[in-house]
Amino acid sequence: MLANILGSLATVPGALPGAVAQGLIWGIMAIGVYITFRVLDIADLTVDGSLGTGGAVCIMLMLLGCNVWLAMLGAVIAGLLTGLMTGVFHTFMGIPAILAGILTQLSLYSINLKIMGKANQAINVDKYSLLVSLRWVRKAMLNNPLIMVAIIIVILIAFLYWFFGTELGSGLRATGANPNMSRAQGINTDLNKVLGLMVSNALVAFSGALLSQYQGFADVNMGRGAIVIGLAAVIIGEAIFGRIFRNFALRLLAVVFGSIIYYVVIQIVIQLGLDANLLKLLSALVVAVFLAVPYWKSRYFRRGVKVRKEAE
Amino acid sequence: MLELRDLYKTFNPGTVNEKRAIDGLSLTLEDGDFVTIIGGNGAGKSTVLNLISGAIPLDSGSICLDGKDITSLPEFKRAKYLGRVFQDPMMGTAATMGIEENLALANRRGARRGLRPGITSQERVRYREQLASLGLGLETRMTSKVGLLSGGQRQALTLLMATLKKPRLLLLDEHTAALDPKTADKVLQLTEEIVSRDSLTTLMVTHNMKQAIQYGNRLIMMDAGRIVVDIRGQEKKDLTVRDLLEKFNIENDRMLLSE
């Protein structure tokens, strides 16, 4: 038994680069989830659809002969539109955020099918110049996903750090922190929510575009359960790095680390022989427990909270 | 400068909980007026402020500020002209953001928010001075999250935020009601200082008759969504709590208790 486990664990290092690469790509998606879930305080389920939209748009544009960067730009624009759709459902039409996301997600299933014309579209790594592919995960080249995606993430985090420090970005953070106060300070909270949803889903679609290149195909089901993976990454990142990473950029980095850890753990669990069909169940339960921790803490482990004395 | 004309507001119309909160209220404020509003629970004091700020929509009537009809402007656009402090200390600040960040947000009230930096180093210097003038020691905790502050500190900060960019009208909605008496006094003193320094036109809702008499140049009492008493000038200066009680035979225990 023990020998068995050790034996299967011995194969883990070999599978590690692939797991880390996937973690990096999904890390971008998890940053998108962080923006809605933590910054805007909205659980946005659009992502289950917009991930696939990003992948579908990217692959189809490339098959049509587009340059890979142009295809990725197309994916980002498509992502912005999915966020806009949820945003309009939520603000202009007054639909609760979760339901608005579900509605968009469902409609994206049809849209993604229409974009691809069928349930999945493959792209040949030899015929098209992809940005990343799982084939190159062990190669010493710029297009090695471990290198390429890491560089992209650094650029993205730098951009987001700048953006959330601007007047507009500060207003967006304030909208999530306290909408009443934001309106009293002249912030258009509806507009900011839509903007946040757009930025978030653009990141998710971008991640989907990378993922479809990495795996060599886009699939209508590729985003199923994405929100859970995104939340898992956010929560793992916060649980492990929350105390040391205070700065906003570092918090985003923590989310990426959370995503990598998630995929490495999943890899190990699979190598240990867990039925891969049970993975989503396992992920959902882990996320459920982690989401419950703050609640349990406040409810059952209320350690004598010191009442702050009024500063004179 | 502020003109409220025939305001009506009914909550939950057509249900058993139907409540006419504001019943044909009209009011004109002069530039520099400091008006205190008192009245029992459900008299409509806070509702008036919420109607002016646009936090709740009006059924009918019109609101003009400096001759400009703002009745149809959404809340966030009216914010350009208004400074607001709420009863709940949690409501006026963003708890997860720093003290200086909150001030920077307030400093851009009414301005277009673009891609310029959310806070600059010159601003920080200014905020430090202004926080120091509160005398609460907040100037040494500029980057601390506002969630760590006490209720009194948060109300003082909200007051500073409301007046950082001089508003045309300052709306104070029982902003000391959630504080202990000593802190409440301190925040009120601060209010008085700021209002007279910037000669702000102010509407202050309070439950406390003594406060209503002590502060401001005009006192309004509300009942059932209408103004029932409006005292100003010398009469307001000479007013005592006993006068008010005797004159208008107020039967509201909360107001009596807070005497």
Q: What is the pLDDT of residues A204-233, one digit of tens each?
A: 999 999 999 999 999 999 999 999 999 999
Measured between CB atoms, which of B95, B108, B136 is closest to A167?
B108
pLDDT of A10 strictly over 70: yes
Measured between CB atoms, which of B92, B117, B161 is closest to A166?
B117
- Of A92, A94, A96, the C-alpha closest to A42 is A96
Pairing, β B68-69 against β B60-65 = antiparallel
Determine contact, residues B12/B217, Cβ cutoff 8 Å: no
Query: Is residue B78 very low, low, confident or very high in pLDDT (cuts 50, 70, 90)?
Result: very high
Q: Which residues of B touch A167 (CB under 8 A)?
A: 108, 113-118
Nearest CA in chain A to B150: A310
Report all structural domains of chain A as residue ranges with CATH numbers, in order of start.
14-289 (1.10.3470)
Instruction: Output the pLDDT for position A293.
Output: 85
Mean pLDDT computed over every residue of chain A: 93
Which of B105, B141, B176 has the most A C-beta neighbours within 10 Å, making it the best mutation to test the interface with A?
B105
CB contact under 8 Å between A169 and B118, yes or no, is: yes
Distance between CA atoms of residues A156 and A167, nearest Å: 19
pLDDT of A58 strictly over 90: yes
Q: Which residues of B touch A311 (CB under 8 A)?
A: 136-137, 150, 152-153
What's the DSSP call for residue A119? S
Measured between CB atoms, which of B80, B136, B182 is closest to A186?
B80
Distance between CA atoms of residues B192 and B184, nearest Å: 12
Distance between CA atoms of residues B54 and B164, nearest Å: 21
Closest approach of B147 to chain A, Cα-based (Å):
11
Determine contact, residues B23/B224, Cβ cutoff 8 Å: yes
Interface of A with B (CB under 8 A): 163, 165-171, 173-174, 177-178, 180-189, 308-311
- For B49-67, write each residue's pLDDT tens digit: 999 999 999 999 999 999 9
Instruction: Output the pLDDT for position B198.
Output: 95
Measured between CB atoms, which of A178, A185, A308 is closest to B106?
A185
Determine contact, residues A176/B105, Cβ cutoff 8 Å: no
Strand partners for B9: B22
pLDDT of B247 strictly over 90: no
Query: Is residue A273 very low, low, confident or very high in pLDDT (cuts 50, 70, 90)?
Result: confident
Nearest CA in chain A to B151: A310
Which of A181, A192, A193, A306 has the most B C-beta neighbours within 10 Å, making it the best mutation to test the interface with B?
A181
CB contact under 8 Å between A184 and B82, yes or no, is: yes
Closest approach of A3 to chain B, Cα-based (Å):
50
pLDDT of A5 strictly over 90: no
Q: Would you mind telling me the total number of residues written for chain B in this entry?
A: 259
Query: Is residue A309 very low, low, confident or very high in pLDDT (cuts 50, 70, 90)?
Result: very low
Phi, psi torsion values for A143, nearest 5 degrees: -80, 0
Which of B49, B50, B76 has the most A C-beta neighbours within 10 Å, making it the best mutation to test the interface with A?
B76
pLDDT of A302 strictly over 70: no
Query: Is residue B259 very low, low, confident or very high in pLDDT (cuts 50, 70, 90)?
Result: very low
pLDDT of A308 strictly over 70: no
Q: Which residues of B touch A168 (CB under 8 A)?
A: 113-115
* Amino acid in position B154: R
Measured between CB atoms, which of B76, B93, B110 is closest to A178?
B93
Which of B49, B73, B96, B113 has the most A C-beta neighbours within 10 Å, making it the best mutation to test the interface with A?
B113
Measured between CB atoms, which of B111, B116, B136 is closest to A311?
B136
Query: Is residue A189 very low, low, confident or very high in pLDDT (cuts 50, 70, 90)?
Result: very high
Phi, psi torsion values for B140, nearest 5 degrees: -95, 0
Query: Is residue A183 very low, low, confident or very high in pLDDT (cuts 50, 70, 90)?
Result: very high
Which whole number is the average pLDDT over A4-18? 79
Instruction: Output the pLDDT for position B40.
Output: 84
Residue A152 corresponds to which tokens in the numbers above?
């992209």
Question: b or e along A159-178 (b: 16 or more beta carbons within 10 Å of the residue's beta carbon)?
Answer: ebbeebbbbbbbbbbbbbbb
CB contact under 8 Å between B153 and A170, yes or no, is: no
Distance between CA atoms of residues B221 and B188, nearest Å: 20
Three-state secondary structure readout of chain B: CEEEEEEEEEECCCCCCCEEEEEEEEEEECCCCEEEEEECCCCCHHHHHHHHHCCCCCCEEEEEECCEECCCCCHHHHCCCEEEECCCCCCCCCCCCEHHHHHHHHHCCCCCCCCCECCCHHHHHHHHHHHHHHCCCHHHCCCCEHHHCCHHHHHHHHHHHHHHCCCCEEEEECCCCCCCHHHHHHHHHHHHHHHHHCCCEEEEECCCHHHHHHCCCEEEEEECCEEEEEEEHHHHHHCCHHHHHHHHCCCCHHHHHCC
Determine contact, residues A116/A218, Cβ cutoff 8 Å: yes
CB contact under 8 Å between B97 and A188, yes or no, is: no
Instruction: Output the pLDDT for position A29.
Output: 98
Instruction: Output the pLDDT for position A12.
Output: 74
Number of Cβ atoms within 10 Å of the Cβ of A299: 9
Query: Is residue A312 very low, low, confident or very high in pLDDT (cuts 50, 70, 90)?
Result: very low
Q: Which residues of B touch A180 (CB under 8 A)?
A: 55, 86, 91
